[in-house]
A and B are shown apart, each in its own frame.
Chain A
Amino acid sequence: MQTANVNRLTPYLFLAPAGIIMAVALLYPIGYMIYASFLDWNPSQRIGEAEFIGLRNYLNLLGDAAFRESFWVTLKFAAIVVTVEMLLGVGLALLLDRNIRGMSLLRTLFILPMMIAPVVVGLMWRYMYHPTVGIFNRTLKSLGLEPIPWLSDGNWAFASVIIADIWQWTPFIFILSLAALQSLPQSAMEASRIDGATGWQQIIHIKLPLMMPVLIVTLLLRLIDAFKVLEVILVLTNGGPGLSTEILSLRISRTASEFRELGEAAAMSNVLLILLMILTFAMFAYSKAVEIRTARLRAAAEETAI
């Protein structure tokens, strides 16, 4: 009797450490942040002393032009970098998915950028973008062209942070796409060759659709990352000039540290979190629905099997 009880408890016992770590490391901070977003709280107060103000932080955000600007910059930034990175990454993967001598070395070189710490990437690009001694402007000058205000003009600064991000994160999409390509069913490729598909037709009709599940997850991961990006932009422009490159995470960090509005910052974080969660859940719900439908139809087919 007693042994039976112990046996039944065993799995929970094994799960307990993971559960506790989850609670401490994940649920507690999130709960803390959600609670804080309902408070008018500055860093000199303990959390218990802060005044509870309900949804006022969220309402303030709606009226805050700087927040809306920052939100818009983030959306623009994420949309552009993820689109360009997806196109480049998938394109490179399609190009390099073949067995040529030296290809494995080339592949390794391609993924180097994403192994570099973001702060280092930021510093590196800042020197390259430097108005007088940076490689870009020196090159332009030696070609007899006008120097470009890479980081001092609003539009150029936005373009500059996008270029740096694309440089660093295209490899991520590249390796995931390459892995997806190499695990595609070989016989379906062969069947399409027999069916008369050219290389391009194979890519469009077979490879890309079959890679789609991986591409969607990759896109989602990159999108989440792009919404949270901080270090490179912090080092490159610190959000400037003006608010031209002030993405949401920078705004949050400034609201907390410069403006000393912890409740407001927490509310911003929550808005970002909700946005990302909607994206993620929509994606999960979609793939789950497809999975269930397939399983149901297949079970029906097996039952009435010929």
Chain B
Amino acid sequence: MPKIFFDQVSKSYGAVEVLPPFDLTLEDGEFTVLVGPSGCGKSTTLRMLAGLETLSNGEIYFDDRAISKLEPKERDLAMVFQDYALYPHMNIAKNMSFALRLARVSKSEIDEKVLRVAKMLNIAHLLDRKPAELSGGQRQRVAMGRALVRDAGTFLFDEPLSNLDAKLRGKMRAELAEMRDTIDKNMVYVTHDQVEAMTLGDRIVVMSDGYIQQQGTPEALFKHPVNKFVAGFIGSPTMNFLDADLVEERGLTWVRGDGFMLPLSDETGKRMADAKNRNVTVGIRPSSFLTDASNGAPMELKVVVSEYLGAQSVLITRCSETDVVVETQSAQPLQTGSVQIFGVKTDEIMVFEKSSGRRL
């Protein structure tokens, strides 16, 4: 399996530059997830890798081999499409074996491979059906199976789960995660769903507006986002952002906003020392709140909506004019309309430059 390297690759449609030049390395055997909102260029990146789109500039290398001029079939890859892209007129066995038949693999070998993959994906009983005769989830599996039968070096997934309903999506996501560990291949996975990205990726590449915002392990992105976009995109429920000013008082650095004043941890505070602009955006994850105010910096919030989910509750609260989402572990539903004092874990507070969104 090759190491894949994008060298100053860019893409324009006419005068419109959708992807400014970028570098990106996908390590051998890694499960890489390209994630971002729609229109961020993640699918275009994948399609350039697949050979379905041309590059406007730059080059893609598989190890040391330049591949941007090669036909898709010469790149040793298999792809799963968002709408599955099954061949409607062929039965499932024919769909899965199409590439092998074109490659003139012997019939016995084809039958054996198709059956093995079909059994693995639990679709062996569907082999003589047509795609239109299958449910969405089954079609999804067939699309997956068609890619697996190929035994290619690199697997590409273009939003493979987005056409499924929520329950099925969760199930397929778990199966994919399991498959990821048993199959030692390069996998490149495009999605707009950060949960999929977090659960599947060895490495996540967050994209927005054609730029790579940050790449790293799920943990690194969650704990150390480089800017407000990544911080807001990764994590569910999403991070709360509040406008504030930096102030020095009693030997500590504080963030003071409309209705709250929170101290920063020493480590964060030190980094603020050279911040020229004192206007900042404070980011607090919903999970950084504690119902017990004595364990953190106190913050007064009015509970507006309480979504009681059993083991935990998601509260929508209001701090002055701004909505703040709070995730609590308490088994007790909180009274809607009441004003509560929550504790904020000060070492989890993030501070972003207000103008650029850059993390301070």
The answer to whether A191 has its CB under 8 Å from any CB of chain B is: yes
Residues of A within 8 A of B52 (CB): 190, 193-194
CB contact between A188 and one of B72, B88, B168 (< 8 Å): that residue: B88
Compute how far the CA of A191 lies from the CA of B134 in the bound complex, rounded to whole angstroms. Answer: 19
Contact with B along A152-194 (1 / 0, CB 8 A): 0000000000000000000000000000000001011011111
The answer to whether A305 has its CB under 8 Å from any CB of chain B is: yes
Compute how far the CA of A193 lies from the CA of B146 in the bound complex, rounded to whole angstroms. Answer: 13
The answer to whether B83 and A187 touch across the interface, beta carbons within 8 angstroms, is: yes
Interface residues of B in 41-91 (CB under 8 A from A): 50-52, 71-73, 77-79, 81-90
The answer to whether B73 and A301 touch across the interface, beta carbons within 8 angstroms, is: no
Which one of A91-99, A201-209, A276-284 is at the B interface?
A201-209
With most chain B CB atoms within 10 A of its CB, the pick from A192, A193, A194, A209 is: A194
Q: Which residue of A lies closest to B75 (CB)?
A: A194
Compute how far the CA of A185 lies from the CA of B72 in the bound complex, rounded to whole angstroms. Answer: 18
Residues of A within 8 A of B86 (CB): 188, 191
The answer to whether A4 has its CB under 8 Å from any CB of chain B is: no
Which one of B97-105, B107-115, B298-306, B329-337 is at the A interface?
B97-105
The answer to whether B106 has its CB under 8 Å from any CB of chain A is: no
The answer to whether A191 and B89 touch (CB under 8 A), given A196-B73, A297-B133, is: no
The answer to whether B130 has its CB under 8 Å from any CB of chain A is: yes
The answer to whether A146 has its CB under 8 Å from any CB of chain B is: no
The answer to whether A10 has its CB under 8 Å from any CB of chain B is: no
Compute how far the CA of A92 lies from the CA of B314 in the bound complex, rounded to whole angstroms. Answer: 62
Q: Which residue of B lies closest to A301 (CB)?
A: B135
The answer to whether B99 and A195 touch across the interface, beta carbons within 8 angstroms, is: yes
The answer to whether A294 and B132 touch (CB under 8 A), given A187-B81, A210-B88, is: yes
The answer to whether B20 has its CB under 8 Å from any CB of chain A is: no
Interface residues of B in 125-163 (CB under 8 A from A): 129-130, 132-138, 141, 146, 150
Q: How large is the interface on A (under 10, 10 to 19, 20 to 34, 35 or more residues)?
A: 20 to 34
Compute how far the CA of A294 lies from the CA of B77 in the bound complex, rounded to whole angstroms. Answer: 32
Compute how far the CA of A212 lies from the CA of B136 in the bound complex, rounded to whole angstroms. Answer: 24
The answer to whether B122 has its CB under 8 Å from any CB of chain A is: yes
Q: Which residue of B lies closest to A208 (CB)?
A: B89
Residues of B within 8 A of A212 (CB): 89
Compute how far the CA of A154 lies from the CA of B159 in the bound complex, rounded to whole angstroms. Answer: 64
CB contact between B138 and one of A185, A192, A196, A301 (< 8 Å): that residue: A301
**Nearest Cβ distance between residue A108 and chain B, in whole angstroms?**
25
**Nearest Cβ distance between residue B166 and chain A, in whole angstroms?**
14
**Nearest Cβ distance between residue A194 and chain B, in whole angstroms?**
5
CB contact between B85 and one of A187, A197, A294, A297 (< 8 Å): that residue: A187
CB contact between B135 and one of A206, A209, A210, A302 (< 8 Å): that residue: A302
The answer to whether B81 and A306 touch across the interface, beta carbons within 8 angstroms, is: no
Residues of B within 8 A of A206 (CB): 87
Residues of A within 8 A of B71 (CB): 193
The answer to whether A301 and B133 touch (CB under 8 A), given A192-B98, A195-B99, A195-B102, is: yes
The answer to whether A298 has its CB under 8 Å from any CB of chain B is: yes
Q: Which residue of B lies closest to A294 (CB)?
A: B132
The answer to whether A195 and B135 touch across the interface, beta carbons within 8 angstroms, is: no
The answer to whether A190 and B81 touch across the interface, beta carbons within 8 angstroms, is: yes
The interface size of chain B toward A, counting residues with CB under 8 Å, comes to 38
Residues of B within 8 A of A294 (CB): 130, 132-133
Residues of B within 8 A of A197 (CB): 73, 98, 102
Interface residues of B in 218-233 (CB under 8 A from A): none
Compute how far the CA of A187 lies from the CA of B51 in the bound complex, rounded to whole angstroms. Answer: 13
The answer to whether A297 and B89 touch across the interface, beta carbons within 8 angstroms, is: no
Compute how far the CA of A85 lies from the CA of B89 in the bound complex, rounded to whole angstroms. Answer: 25
Residues of A within 8 A of B83 (CB): 185, 187
The answer to whether B133 and A205 touch across the interface, beta carbons within 8 angstroms, is: no
The answer to whether A188 and B87 touch across the interface, beta carbons within 8 angstroms, is: yes
**Nearest Cβ distance between residue A184 and chain B, in whole angstroms?**
10
Q: Which residue of B lies closest to A297 (CB)?
A: B133
The answer to whether B72 and A194 touch across the interface, beta carbons within 8 angstroms, is: yes
The answer to whether A194 and B138 touch across the interface, beta carbons within 8 angstroms, is: no
Compute how far the CA of A210 lies from the CA of B130 in the bound complex, rounded to whole angstroms. Answer: 13
The answer to whether A191 and B122 touch across the interface, beta carbons within 8 angstroms, is: no
The answer to whether A194 and B137 touch across the interface, beta carbons within 8 angstroms, is: no
The answer to whether B73 and A193 touch across the interface, beta carbons within 8 angstroms, is: yes
The answer to whether B77 and A194 touch across the interface, beta carbons within 8 angstroms, is: yes
The answer to whether A191 and B132 touch (CB under 8 A), given A196-B102, A210-B88, is: no
**Nearest Cβ distance between residue B97 and chain A, in whole angstroms?**
10
Residues of A within 8 A of B133 (CB): 294, 297-298, 301
Q: Which residue of B lies closest to A195 (CB)?
A: B99
Compute how far the CA of A212 lies from the CA of B168 in the bound complex, rounded to whole angstroms. Answer: 33
Contact with B along A290-303 (1 / 0, CB 8 A): 00001001100110
The answer to whether A305 and B73 touch across the interface, beta carbons within 8 angstroms, is: no
CB contact between A185 and one of B50, B85, B90, B103 (< 8 Å): that residue: B85
Residues of B within 8 A of A190 (CB): 50, 52, 79, 81, 85
The answer to whether B137 and A195 touch across the interface, beta carbons within 8 angstroms, is: no
The answer to whether B98 and A205 touch across the interface, beta carbons within 8 angstroms, is: yes
With most chain B CB atoms within 10 A of its CB, the pick from A188, A206, A294 is: A188
The answer to whether A195 and B134 touch across the interface, beta carbons within 8 angstroms, is: no
The answer to whether B135 and A191 touch across the interface, beta carbons within 8 angstroms, is: no
Interface residues of A in 28-84 (CB under 8 A from B): none
A-B contact pairs, 12 of them (CB 8 A): A185-B85, A187-B85, A190-B81, A191-B85, A192-B87, A195-B98, A195-B99, A210-B88, A212-B89, A298-B134, A305-B168, A306-B171
Query: Given A190-B50, A192-B98, A193-B51, 19 more contacts at CB 8 Å?
Result: A185-B83, A187-B82, A191-B87, A192-B87, A193-B52, A193-B72, A194-B99, A195-B99, A195-B102, A195-B150, A196-B73, A197-B98, A209-B87, A298-B133, A298-B135, A301-B134, A305-B135, A306-B122, A306-B138
Closest 4 CB pairs of A and B: A196-B73, A297-B133, A187-B85, A195-B99
